[in-house]
Amino acid sequence: MENYAKLEKVGEGTYGVVYKARDINTGRIVALKKIRLEAEDEGVPSTAIREISLLKELKDDNVVALLDIVHADSKLYLVFEFLDMDLKRYIFVRFSNKPQYYHVYPPNIPRYMETVNSKNGNRGLDKQLIKKFTYQLLAGLRYCHGHRILHRDLKPQNLTDTDENLKLADFGLARAFGIPLRTYTHEVVTLWYRSPEVLLGSRHYSTAIDMWSVGCIVAEMVMHGQPLFPGDSEIDQIFKIFRLLGTPNEEIWPGVSQLPDYKETFPRWSAVELSQTVRESTHKVWILSRQARSHPPHTSTISQPEFSE
């Protein structure tokens, strides 16, 4: 670690502690991810090995860059470009003068408040900025999917921001996928952004689980940082989705009744127009609603002319 000087701890990732650091040779500010080893004799966790192998392959403007790998003192450090803001924090800061939104993200980021608020005057996310972030999110995801990689843990906290540009980060749960679909663990994706097929126990899934997360993230931007489906348990999450989009059946989702955690006793809710939930609805929100209702897991990354303007 003689080439890097730790400056401060900035958080924790999927598998370890994250530090802000300086490259002693170049002066560049970087992010150090120290791998959390469950036991010294077990070596590097498979999640870390997976992220390293994936990030070595990913070279895109909308994907966080892996700069170096350091093994020192029986610890492994991943050196990434440093981006001091994520989308969750960014949304919180943009609405930080509105007390009703304070519960969305803990107010423990004063160093970000002054920077972002001075630039934007607490004016929230305008439609052009939401469109820009959505485009960048989709561009990064299209790149990953084009390289046969699922992210599997998309959420605002894993979308880093620099000068109002988004990059996909934290591939601790990502995995290359092939054809035919493999069987995967269903314990992936933070609950609020988890797709119905994963919640219902499916272990056969594809790019659709990432696209579901994208829809939830875009809705959250439109809704001033309010999560679209803020469930507090898996069953609560499922029911929140069903209450808004309707309880699925074999007619609209062939095969749903065969999923491991599907119950014939589920309440039968009818779909509600998403515009009734997303107050500042636009044509884009209607698109998300339409796609969510036809979600069943064979959807690819969306390509809509509305996002090409």
The predicted model scores a pTM of: 0.79
Among candidate residues 37, 41, 99, the one with its CA nearest the CA of residue 224 = 99
- Say what the pLDDT of residue 34 is: 87
Tell me if residue 210 is catalytic: no
* The last residue of a domain, from among 82, 101, 128: 82
Residues 284 and 263 in one domain: yes
Q: CB–CB of 285/219 below 8 Å?
A: yes
With bands split at pLDDT 50, 70 and 90, how would you rate the model's confidence at 100? very low
Query: Is the pLDDT at 282 greater than 60, yes or no?
Result: no
- Say what the pLDDT of residue 176 is: 59
CA atoms of 101 and 124, how far apart (whole Å): 11
Identify the weakest region by mean pLDDT among 82-86, 116-120, 158-162: 116-120
- Say what the pLDDT of residue 178 is: 60
CA-to-CA dists, residue 59 to 138, 144, 155, 167, angstroms: 15, 10, 21, 11
Binding positions for ATP are 33
Higher pLDDT pick, 103 / 287? 287
Q: Which position among 86, 153, 161, 170 bears the catalytic label?
A: 153
Residues 136 and 159 in one domain: yes
Query: Is the pLDDT at 299 greater than 70, yes or no?
Result: no
CA atoms of 67 and 101, how far apart (whole Å): 36
- Say what the pLDDT of residue 205 is: 80
With bands split at pLDDT 50, 70 and 90, how would you rate the model's confidence at 304? very low
Q: CB–CB of 112/84 below 8 Å?
A: yes
Residue 25 sits in a domain whose CATH number is: 3.30.200.20
Total domain count for the chain?
2
Q: CB–CB of 270/242 below 8 Å?
A: no
Residues 234 and 126 in one domain: yes
Which residues lie closer than 8 Å to 249 by C-beta, 6 or more apart? Answer: 256, 257
- Say what the pLDDT of residue 296 is: 58
Query: Is the pLDDT at 15 greater than 90, yes or no?
Result: no
Residues 166 and 102 in one domain: yes
Higher pLDDT pick, 108 / 230? 230
Strands 66-72 and 16-23, sheet pairing: unpaired
Residues 8 and 120 in one domain: no
- Say what the pLDDT of residue 72 is: 77
Residues 132 and 249 in one domain: yes
Residues 122 and 214 in one domain: yes
* The last residue of a domain, from among 82, 116, 147: 82
Which residues lie closer than 8 Å to 204 by C-beta, 6 or more apart? Answer: 181, 182, 183, 184, 297
Residues 155 and 272 in one domain: yes
As beta bridge partners, residue 63 has: 168
- Residues 116-153, buried b or exposed e (16+ Cβ, 10 A)? beeebeeebbeeebbbbbbebbbbbbbbbbeeebbbbb
**Chain segment 154-195, per-residue pLDDT in tens:** 999 889 877 788 999 887 667 756 655 667 776 666 899 999
Residues 77 and 193 in one domain: no
Domain that holds residue 41: 4-82
Residues 68 and 99 in one domain: no
Binding positions are 33
Which residues lie closer than 8 Å to 118 by C-beta, 6 or more apart? Answer: none
* The last residue of a domain, from among 82, 105, 122: 82
Residue 213 sits in a domain whose CATH number is: 1.10.510.10
Rounded to the nearest 5 degrees, what angle is found at the Cα of 149, between the Cα atoms of 143 and 153?
A: 100
Query: Of the ranges 41-50, 167-176, 224-233, which is most confident?
Result: 224-233
Residues 132 and 174 in one domain: yes
Mean pLDDT of 244-252: 94
Query: Is the pLDDT at 302 greater than 50, yes or no?
Result: no
- Mean pLDDT (the chain) is 78
Residues 70 and 108 in one domain: no
- Say what the pLDDT of residue 233 is: 93
- H or E element, residue 295: none
